[in-house]
């Protein structure tokens, strides 16, 4: 199917796919902002993200056309890399781009009913414009090969995100402090990152990531480089909601409009983790003095702490969206644990879980958006008895839930299995026990929801309940079926993750 | 020791500003003051980049006509890019005509300012202004919704709402059980 879609793209466009992927949504954003009503802006955002999706499929095809993964280098504006900004697409980038644009496209389709319900009429066109800007930023982060350019795209997406989160204020005013807090933390994170890039620039005189990787070999013990490394890891850690730096996340997810929650949960932290992986393995490389100790003493303990502490916090929430938000932080822990193993198998497992978690959380939050739409509430009480009145929405929700727990035949199982295998291979058997324990906690918190949905009588039978509209159901079921498909036949996504990890270790290690 | 400290006066000033800004951003309860701290933090980063751009004994890396892209032998250049920890000759020789670090060498007495960090900081200023604008807009809306811009008062109000919500929730579930 990928080959077929890629063959539809003319060669002249395919050559510029890395740029078009970013530029098309960027150009559509101001057009959408000037549209007189939200519905046209909605259609525009579907078109823009659809084009981005086709471009990313074309990129995947181009990268996979060579055994072991090609590296596409695109010189922005025709300026040769190092002097100009390079867009560099390898197996890892193309995987993240495919993930972001798929989720972005599905999210754009599903958005209209929830936006209509939650955003005021005059703001809708602007809302979609902000969404497209956010999407632009995320694809930009995932495709650029220039360290400073990465910062700029990170901020483009983040600033749009602050606006989107704050728009939840029409439903609950607590969205505003949440957005303010997110803005503060996010800006500090990005600033830390840019300080780190400054140190690297001082030590090497380049901003191109591939070039940085080469030149850093000579100045490994330089104190400026070590300081830069620390700043970059902390800065990207804030953006990725690494355990002690995740305080902005639960509120931002719980109070933003349900469309925004779904999109952010499935993409924003994932892209930040991509950037972290890119810096850890491509720019610095495993030979870097700090790297081994960072993986063992920072990423691994923080990942494990997130898996346990945030799973516990998830158990004690009464609001379903907060539960899922804490669970997101816990799942970031799984990814960090996989990455911290520092072997190709471990990183591949971490990336595999990254993709799967995006599918899982995308499906769960999309189903919840349907609940919010028809029932206006997201507490555990509101979910009671929904399994009887809206079986389609809730069955998809249940598929997402069992996938999050890691029941066999679902996506979550496949990636946890890969993670456990990588851990055993590395001899970290005790970490396997932690993974199991955290999964048990997931059984508790997701089990409570499923019990409420399917086995409880509605707490307030007079309220109207109904199925979510078709526009929501279709993307929702695409994601739910994707969970099952990856779970039963996980070869495609696992292959992408393997290629990505191989590209990192071959491309970055030497 | 003293010389070492004084030589790097600009960096000390920058670190001082950066830490003051970070402290204000975390410690202030007034949201506006928090943004002021954030602005200070970002400005100190701009200063950091600008002071990186100074190169003693350098000149503009302009190559034109037949010289463009030509690799020169810079190995006998001992002084280029004094502040740069990396070996200046290395990257000058690898065709780094963008930065111009290490160009020139003996015979030049000018202090040259590398334009690249300046350009980067123009972008960073734009990013900072956009962040500040969004932040202030959010604070205006917070003020409209809560009637205050003090973070602790807002937290107290939110806590009250959360407690009353939890209470009504418990009542509801009790009613549901009966």
DSSP string for residues in A399-414: HHHHHHHT-TTSHHHH
Q: State whether residue B46 sits within 8 Å of chain A by CB.
A: no
Segments of chain B scoring below 50 in pLDDT: 72-105
The 10s digit of each residue's pLDDT in A174-232 is 899 999 999 999 999 999 999 999 999 988 888 888 888 888 888 877 888 888 999 99
Q: State whether residue B177 sits within 8 Å of chain A by CB.
A: no
Which ipTM was obtained for this model? 0.88
What are the distances in angstroms from CA A435 to CA A58, A243, A266, A337, A399? 36, 16, 21, 10, 21
**Least confident span in A53-67, A280-294, A415-429:** A280-294
CB burial string B135-169: b at 16+ within 10 A, e below: beebbebbeebbeebebeebeebbeeeeeeeeeeb
Q: How far apart are CA B4 and CA B170, in angstroms?
A: 65
pLDDT of residue A344: 86
Q: Which of A187, A234, A245 to mutate to test the interface with B (most CBs of B within 10 A)?
A: A187
Chain B residue with the nearest C-alpha to that of A176: B142
Burial class (CB in 10 A: 0-12, 13-18, 19+), A11: exposed
Q: Nearest CA to CA, how far is A201 from chain B (Å)?
A: 9
**pLDDT over 60 (residue A375):** yes
B169·A318 Cβ contact <8 A: yes
Q: State whether residue A166 sits within 8 Å of chain B by CB.
A: yes
Q: State whether residue B131 sits within 8 Å of chain A by CB.
A: yes
Interface of B with A in 53-72 (CB under 8 A): none
Picking from A166, A190, A198, the nearest residue to B52 by CB comes out as A198
What are the distances in angstroms from CA A421 to CA A343, A415, A436, A491? 12, 10, 13, 16
CB A397 within 8 A of CB A367: yes
pLDDT of residue B70: 54
CB A465 within 8 A of CB A386: yes
Picking from B85, B123, B137, the nearest residue to A202 by CB comes out as B85
pLDDT of residue B76: 40
Q: How far apart are CA B168 and CA A7, in angstroms?
A: 58
Chain B residue with the nearest C-alpha to that of A459: B176
pTM as predicted: 0.89
Instruction: Give Cβ neighbours of residue A291 (< 8 Å, ≥ 6 apart).
Output: A280, A284, A285, A342
B48 interaction partners in chain A (CB closer than 8 Å): 195, 198
Residue ranges of domains in chain B, CATH in brackets: 1-53+115-178 (1.10.287.3510), 63-113 (no CATH)
pLDDT of residue B112: 80
What are the distances in angstroms from CA A166 to CA A37, A113, A173, A325? 21, 19, 9, 17
A162·B84 Cβ contact <8 A: no
CB A338 within 8 A of CB A281: no
pLDDT of residue A264: 92
Q: Nearest CA to CA, how far is A189 from chain B (Å)?
A: 11
Interface of A with B in 141-160 (CB under 8 A): 148, 151-152, 155, 159
The 10s digit of each residue's pLDDT in A89-110 is 888 899 999 999 999 999 999 9
What are the distances in angstroms from CA A167 to CA A163, A185, A241, A260, B88? 6, 18, 22, 9, 50
Give backbone dihedrals phi and psi of A198, rounded to 5 degrees, phi first: -60, -45
**pLDDT over 70 (residue A491):** yes
Instruction: Give Cβ neighbours of residue B3 (< 8 Å, ≥ 6 apart).
Output: none
Longest dimension (CA), chain A: 71
**pLDDT over 80 (residue A468):** no
E strand segments, A248-378: none
The 10s digit of each residue's pLDDT in A124-157 is 899 999 999 999 999 999 999 899 999 999 999 9
Picking from A174, A176, A379, the nearest residue to B138 by CB comes out as A176
Q: Nearest CA to CA, how far is B47 from chain A (Å)?
A: 11
B173 interaction partners in chain A (CB closer than 8 Å): 381, 459
Q: State whether residue B135 sits within 8 Å of chain A by CB.
A: yes
**Least confident span in A214-218, A250-254, A396-400, A418-422:** A214-218
B158·A201 Cβ contact <8 A: no
Tokens of B92: 């000058």
CA atoms within 13 A on the CB side of A286: 14
The 10s digit of each residue's pLDDT in A261-301 is 999 999 999 999 999 999 988 888 777 766 777 778 888 88
Q: State whether residue A220 sits within 8 Å of chain B by CB.
A: no
Q: State whether residue A224 sits within 8 Å of chain B by CB.
A: yes
Q: Nearest CA to CA, how far is A127 from chain B (Å)?
A: 14
Q: State whether residue A174 sits within 8 Å of chain B by CB.
A: yes
Instruction: Give Cβ neighbours of residue A404 (< 8 Å, ≥ 6 apart).
Output: A327, A331, A360, A361, A364, A412, A442, A446
Q: Nearest CA to CA, how far is B107 from chain A (Å)?
A: 23
Q: Nearest CA to CA, how far is A283 from chain B (Å)?
A: 16
Identify the CA nearest to A399 among candidates A362, A371, A436, A369. A362
Chain A, chain B: beta-carbon pairs less than 8 Å apart: 129
Q: How far apart are CA A59 and CA A166, in angstroms?
A: 34
If one counts every other C-beta atom within 10 angstroms of the C-beta of residue A25, the result is 30
């Amino acid at each position: 199917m990928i080959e077929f879609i890629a063959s539809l793209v003319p060669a002249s466009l395919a050559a510029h796919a890395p740029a078009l992927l970013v530029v098309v949504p960027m150009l559509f954003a101001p057009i959408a902002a000037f549209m007189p009503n939200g519905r046209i802006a909605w259609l525009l955002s579907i078109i823009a993200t659809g084009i981005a999706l086709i471009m990313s499929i074309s990129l995947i095809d181009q990268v996979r056309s060579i055994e072991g993964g090609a590296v596409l280098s695109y010189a922005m504006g025709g300026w040769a890399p190092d002097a100009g900004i390079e867009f560099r697409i390898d197996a890892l980038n193309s995987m993240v781009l495919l993930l972001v644009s798929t989720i972005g496209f599905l999210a754009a389709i599903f958005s209209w009913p929830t936006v209509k319900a939650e955003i005021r009429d005059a703001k809708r066109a602007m809302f979609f414009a902000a969404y497209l800007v956010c999407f632009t930023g995320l694809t930009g982060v995932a495709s650029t090969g220039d360290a400073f350019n990465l910062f700029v795209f990170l901020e483009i997406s983040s600033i749009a995100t602050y606006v989107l989160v704050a728009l939840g204020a029409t439903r609950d005013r607590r969205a505003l402090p949440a957005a303010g807090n997110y803005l503060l933390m996010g800006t500090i994170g990005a600033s830390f990152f840019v300080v780190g890039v400054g140190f690297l620039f001082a030590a090497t005189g380049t901003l191109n990531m591939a070039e940085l990787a080469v030149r850093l070999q000579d100045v490994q013990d330089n104190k400026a480089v070590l300081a830069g490394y620390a700043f970059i890891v902390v800065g990207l850690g804030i953006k990725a909601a690494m355990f002690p730096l995740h305080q902005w996340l639960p509120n931002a997810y719980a109070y933003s409009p349900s469309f925004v929650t779904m999109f952010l949960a499935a993409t924003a932290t994932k892209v930040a983790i991509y950037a972290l992986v890119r810096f850890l393995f491509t720019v610095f490389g495993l030979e870097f003095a700090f790297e081994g100790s960072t993986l063992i003493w920072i990423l691994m303990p923080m990942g494990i702490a997130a898996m346990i502490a945030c799973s516990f916090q998830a158990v004690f929430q009464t609001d379903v969206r907060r539960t899922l938000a804490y669970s997101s932080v816990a799942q970031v822990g799984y990814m960090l644990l996989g990455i911290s193993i520092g072997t190709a198998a471990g990183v591949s497992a971490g990336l595999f879980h990254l993709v799967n978690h995006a599918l899982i959380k995308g499906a769960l939050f999309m189903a919840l958006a349907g609940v919010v739409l028809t029932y206006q509430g997201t507490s555990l009480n509101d979910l009671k008895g929904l399994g009887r009145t809206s079986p389609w929405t809730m069955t998809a929700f249940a598929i997402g839930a069992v996938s999050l727990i890691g029941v066999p035949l679902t996506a979550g199982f496949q990636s946890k299995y890969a993670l456990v295998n990588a851990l055993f291979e590395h001899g970290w058997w005790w970490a396997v026990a932690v993974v199991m324990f955290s999964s048990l906690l997931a059984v508790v918190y997701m089990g409570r929801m499923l019990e409420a949905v399917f086995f409880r009588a509605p707490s307030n039978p007079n309220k109207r309940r109904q199925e979510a509209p078709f526009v929501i159901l279709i993307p929702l079921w695409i994601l739910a079926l994707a969970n099952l498909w990856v779970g039963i036949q996980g070869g495609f996504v696992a292959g992408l993750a393997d290629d990505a990890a191989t590209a990192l270790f071959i491309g970055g290690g030497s | 020791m003293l010389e070492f400290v004084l030589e790097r006066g600009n960096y000390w000033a920058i670190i001082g500003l950066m830490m003051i800004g970070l402290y204000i951003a975390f410690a202030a309860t007034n949201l506006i003051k928090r943004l002021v701290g954030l602005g200070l933090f970002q400005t100190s980063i701009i200063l950091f980049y600008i002071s990186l751009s100074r190169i003693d004994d350098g000149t503009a890396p302009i190559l034109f006509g037949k010289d463009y892209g030509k690799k020169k032998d810079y190995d006998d250049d001992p002084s280029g890019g004094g502040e740069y920890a990396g070996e200046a000759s290395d990257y000058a020789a690898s065709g780094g005509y963008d930065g111009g670090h290490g160009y020139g060498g003996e015979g030049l007495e000018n202090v040259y300012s590398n334009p690249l960090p300046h350009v980067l900081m123009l972008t960073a200023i734009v990013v900072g202004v956009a962040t500040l604008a969004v932040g202030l807009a959010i604070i205006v809306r917070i003020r409209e919704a809560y009637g205050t811009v003090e973070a602790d008062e807002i937290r107290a109000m939110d806590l009250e709402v959360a407690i009353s919500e939890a209470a009504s929730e418990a009542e509801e579930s009790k009613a549901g059980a009966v």
